[in-house]
Structure 1
Amino acid sequence: MTYDVVVVGGGTAGGPLAARLSEDPDRTILLLEAGPVPADDAVPAEVRDGTTLRAAVPGHPLTWSYPALLAPSRPYTVVRGRMMGGSGAINGGAFVRARPEDADGWARRGNDEWSYGRVLPVWRELESDLDHGATDVHGGSGPMPVLRAPQQSPAAEAFHAAAVDLGFGEEPDKNAPGAPGVGPLPRTVVAGIRRNAAMQYLASARHRPNVAVRGDTRALRVRVECGRTTGVEVETAGRGEFVEAREVVLACGAIGSPHLLLLSGIGPAEKLTALGVPVVADLPGVGRDFTDHPQLVVEWRGRPPGAVGRPETFVTVLDFASPGGPAQGDLEILLCEQPIRDLLTGVPGGTGGGALLVSLQGPESRGRISLRSADPYVPPRIEYRYLSEPVDRVRLRHGLRTAVALLRSRAFAGVVDGLVDPGAAAVGDADLDRWMDAQLGTAIHLCGSARMGPADDTGAVVDQYGRVRGVSGLRVADTSILPTVPSRGPGATAVLIGELIARFMRRGD
């Protein structure tokens, strides 16, 4: 059978994309997922449970574990979801839209379909906001349930009060336009259950006669003949197969999609040739100049009585600008009411403490993804190059000092019994820099590894409709196409990408 569209990747963008395309009964869709596709009543407990990150650990069978370098001397393992739902099936469930300034910035780079005014109706259509309902800004009947984290705990109340005491404004609705500040985190965790986008969209769509879903099927490369995509080479249970398609859409995530493009001969010609990969399209931008949010974790010891009831995961968030930073904010501090170890294991340690996650949301540093080998089973080389631009270090240092000031404020006095790290001695720039270099982490919000742009943008890989340059019948639909990482987490934006690319395809763009 030759499918009209094969979507590779059943994650936060791929699931919604396939579901929306299948609304056209005359279009046949095949959704390929490398991991399992469990029935609704067979989703593993650690995936359903939105109060822990038990599945988001290296080596878990439902993840990809990619070796990476965050900085030249900072090796790291990047964990991505490997099941229906992708990383949205294992992450913290945050559902914060890209800021209007982000969307309008992408539009100014020659991608006018992505302006805030054009995407706002899609934002509204895809969500069911359980706090606000249907308004000019929010939707009330979409597939994605959005609910703000509860704020009735000593830690959440202290965090909010401390932020206000330090002079930061309040931001009660993180998904509405306005100045950055402190407010509850919008999430897709409802009654403790993580509601990932693919499951939400495909719950009914997967039963349509024109859509098929195949799990445990790994894409090895896209086949291109005479400049046109003909299908995908895949492997299922050790058996190779070629799946024919009139059009292929890669939605494998910002690591998986550029890796698959490179394996298929689409990327920088000189480097592909050196590895023995036949060149299909010379696109030097594949894997180049990606952005992500560098992150530090400041842990604190709890003072009894600690959190009320079962601790929440990610609860309250402060967005703010560094000195001289952009108006929408370039720093974020996220409150977690559990120690990180408890969060990752799901086993309370009894310390009653928690953590502040400090992220730089507007980094200048750029990373790259490249092939190590033409063998599809060899992971790509991932180099984040965090803090390679000096301004990033200065801004993240400011964010770290702000987090410490929050925890040492009067408002936190009844909750915090001292810092676990970075410790009282780390006050000077040199001390903080040494601690940052040793503890540097990532929010795992990688974007821009196959970015969109107009014809005169030599680094662009796709146009604003997701179409890969120089190859007919091939698109990319995930966060790899974003020109820059949003100044908020990209989970909600990934759903938007699936929705928009489906709309473009259905109208013939």
Structure 2
Amino acid sequence: MSLPLAPSYDVVVVGSGPTGSTYVREVFERRPDARILLLEAGPKLGDPPGGHVKNIDGDEPRARAQRASEGPAPAAPGRPGTRLLGTPDLPAAAISTNVGGMGAHWTAACPRPGDSERIPCVPDAEMDRHLTRAEELLHVTSHAFDRAPFADVVRQRLAARFDAGRPVSRRVAPMPLAVTTRPDGTHAWSGTDVILGPAAADPRVELADTCLCLRVLHDAGTVTGVAVRDLNSGRETTVTAAAVVVAADALRTPQVLHASGIRPAALGRYLNDQPQIVHAVRLPDDVVAAHDEVTGRTREDDGGIVPQSGVSWVPFTDEHPFHGQVMQLDASPVALADEDTVRPGSIVGLGWFCAKDLDPEDRVTFSDTETDAFGMPRIGIRYRCTDRDLATIEAARNAVAEAGAALGDPLGGEPFLLPAGSSLHYQGTTRMGPADDGTSVCDSHSRVWGTEGLWVAGNGVIPTATACNPTLTSVALASRGAHALAEQLPRRTVATAAPTAG
């Protein structure tokens, strides 16, 4: 889109990923008088905007969409649709810049947090209501792969190893996934098009792609609007707003606030990546022979994961502070002998994510003299593993090895630790808290301390050490924040005239 935009909106949301889109949808539904601008620095990838790239038909169109998401810096090896940030302490840190954000590329895993992953400053009953709402917005189901061959035996073997002493909610189970099974048996993966729903086509909501938010504008402690650059023309403008939500991910949300001169003491601190251990095994021949239920579908039919693919979950507990994601594959991740025949679902990939010690010195930093490819303050990262982290990683490595031994024969050697940043689950940099005491950026409704009318959203607001995939939690917190925003938003703050097309 080219500027100009309309001169004013009720709400401006910066970032079109899952949480920014949640704010749009919730305010849209709760405040029919509000006009909303959704700003995105990246391009639209297809129709509908914000759709998951797995839903794009054909390898080449899908690859073009992924390349368009990578932005001006080098792509991340092995991570189509992302680009490397380029920081030594977190060498695999990567981001996407496109309509839908990482929601166009994610694995769609939506487990609920448990035990100490829960948010202390949000009442449990209220958090559960918003988690349920997040599941509705994302179209989450645990039954997408009920027909997957070998999935039952995989879960039975994992349960025999891990379920003893766990409450029912923390036992081995199918992974909840943001995916819809179509009538023909194929799958549609949830992107932010699913979250936006009817808001995407309503004239009260305007999506401006390739438009970078340079700064949040504020005066005397109150938000007044945003400064925007059209990345196609280079033209800059300002728009006024009663409320601004910055949902630009856990690395770039604090970047926008820093560039705006809004710098709470905890901004960028408590950065939390999840150390990730991976392993692969092959189910024994006797198990495959006894449970041979191949449907004949191919990987291409379902955009990457097929009914032969089961996705199982070994939940986090405080006693076992890691989260297991177990995926059955239709191909081996390591080279096999030419004479080997891989039965779909018989190769099992195991990924264990670890909860990390929270340290205010693990942080994102911003240069006041150097800029990135978009002209924003250059990001740096300081990140270290503590002795306790190293012990957790070793325990997770042992747990993965035990899970692999329970399932079958190892492939490709022992479980190994991926480079720091590989999880893509960055959190904590705009964390919420119960009080403005210098250890949090926002309150439990995601309102930034000391700046009236400013909200933050995304995985960055999560204040706890988590191991589970964070998207469901951050969407739930966004739903909660959006309800507060809708209640506080002044009635009819702008005219109803449509914006000028450009």
Tell me the TM-score range normalised by the shorter chain. 0.7 to 0.9
- The answer on whether the counterparts of 2:130 and 2:477 sit within 8 Å (CA) in structure 1 is no
The residue number in structure 2 matching 1:66 is 85
Q: Using the TM superposition, give the Cα deviation of residue 30 of structure 1 relative to its aligned residue in structure 2, in angstroms.
A: 0.6
* C-alpha distance after superposition, 1:373-398 (max 9, x if no partner): 4533464113342xx22122112212
Contact 1:6-1:29 within 8 A present in 2 as well = yes
Instruction: Look up the SS of the partner of 2:270 in the other structure.
Output: strand
Corresponding residue of 1:164: 159
**How big is each residue's C-alpha offset from its partner over 1:352-376, in whole Å with a ceiling of 9 and x where there is no partner?**
6442111113544662101134533
Contact 1:170 1:182 in 2 (8 A): no
Letter in 1 for 2:132: R
How big is the shift at 1:250?
Answer: 0.4
Once residues 483 and 84 of structure 1 are traced to their aligned partners in structure 2, the CA distance between those partners, rounded to angstroms, is 26
Bigger relative CO (Cα 8 Å, ≥ 6 apart): 2
Contact 2:140 2:176 in 1 (8 A): no
- Tell me which amino acid in the other structure corresponds to 2:161: L
3-state DSSP class of the match of 1:34?
coil
Match of 1:120? 128
Unaligned 5+ runs, structure 1: 108-113, 129-141, 172-176, 268-282, 344-348, 424-434
Report the alpha carbon displacement of residue 68 of structure 1 after superposing the two structures with TM: 3.2
- Structure 1's 201 and 359: CA in aligned 2 closer, same or farther, altered over 3 A? closer
Letter in 2 for 1:165: A
Which letter maps to 1:318?
Answer: V
Closer/same/farther in 2, CA of residues 292 and 51 from structure 1, 3 Å limit: farther
Contact between 2:139 and 2:178, CA under 8 Å: does it hold in 1? yes
Q: Against the structure 1 CA distance between its residues 467 and 182, is the aligned structure 2 distance closer, same or farther, given a 3 Å change threshold? A: same
- Alignment of 1:181 with 2:171, yes or no, is yes
Q: What residue is the counterpart of 2:495 in the other structure?
A: none
Normalization by structure 2: what TM-score?
A: 0.76
Change in CA separation of 1:17 and 1:51 when aligned onto 2, cut-off 3 Å: farther
1:408 aligns with 2:405: yes
**Retained in 2: the 8 A contact 1:478–1:498?**
yes
Which deviates the most, 369-378 or 465-474? 369-378
1:258 is aligned to 254
What displacement does 1:214 show? 1.0
Q: Which residue of 1 aligns with 2:414?
A: 422
Name the structure 1 match of 2:477.
497
Q: Which has the larger displacement, 256-265 or 204-213?
A: 204-213
* Alignment partners' CA distance in 2, 1:383 and 1:341: 36
Shift of 1:227: 2.9
Q: Is the 8 A contact 1:66 1:379 kept in 2?
A: no
Change (3 A) 1:39 1:356: closer
Q: Distance in 2 between matches of 1:62 and 1:167?
A: 35
What secondary structure does 2:251 align onto? Answer: helix
Deviation string, structure 1 residues 108-141 (Cα, Å, up to 9, x no partner): xxxxxx222112223334434xxxxxxxxxxxxx
Task: Write the distance in 2 (CA, Å) between the matches of 1:178 and 1:64.
Answer: 39
In 2, Cα distance between equivalents of 1:160 and 1:118: 31
SS in 2 for 1:261: helix
Contact 2:50 2:191 in 1 (8 A): no
- Contact persistence 1:33–1:216 (CA under 8 A): yes
Which residue, out of 200, 214, 224, partners 1:230?
224
Matches of 1:21 and 1:291 in 2, distance apart?
A: 29
Shift of 1:41: 5.0
Letter in 1 for 2:42: G
1:35 paired to 2:35: no
Q: Which runs of 5+ in 2 are unaligned?
A: 1-6, 299-304, 335-339, 490-502
Greater alpha carbon shift after TM alignment, 238-247 vs 496-505: 238-247
The yes-or-no answer on 1:451 pairing with 2:450 is no
1:95 match: 110
Q: Does residue 398 in structure 1 map to residue 395 in structure 2?
A: yes
- Aligned counterpart, 2:55: 48
| Aligned equivalents of 1:43, 1:456: Cα separation in 2 | 35
Asked if 2 retains the 8 angstrom alpha-carbon contact of 1:50 and 1:194, the reply is no
State the 1:62 CA deviation.
Answer: 4.7
Structure 1 counterpart of 2:12, from 6, 12, 31 = 6
RMSD: 3.5
Number of equivalences: 436
Mean Cα displacement is larger for which, 488-497 or 308-317?
Answer: 308-317
C-alpha spacing 1:42/1:499, structure 2 compared with 1 (3 Å): closer
SS at match of 1:209: coil
Taking only the aligned residue pairs, the percentage that are identical comes to 25
Q: 1:87: Cα distance to partner? A: 1.2
What is the CA-CA distance between 1:338 and the residue it aligns to?
A: 3.3
CA distance in 1, matches of 2:448, 2:483: 17
Q: Secondary structure at the match of 1:450?
A: coil
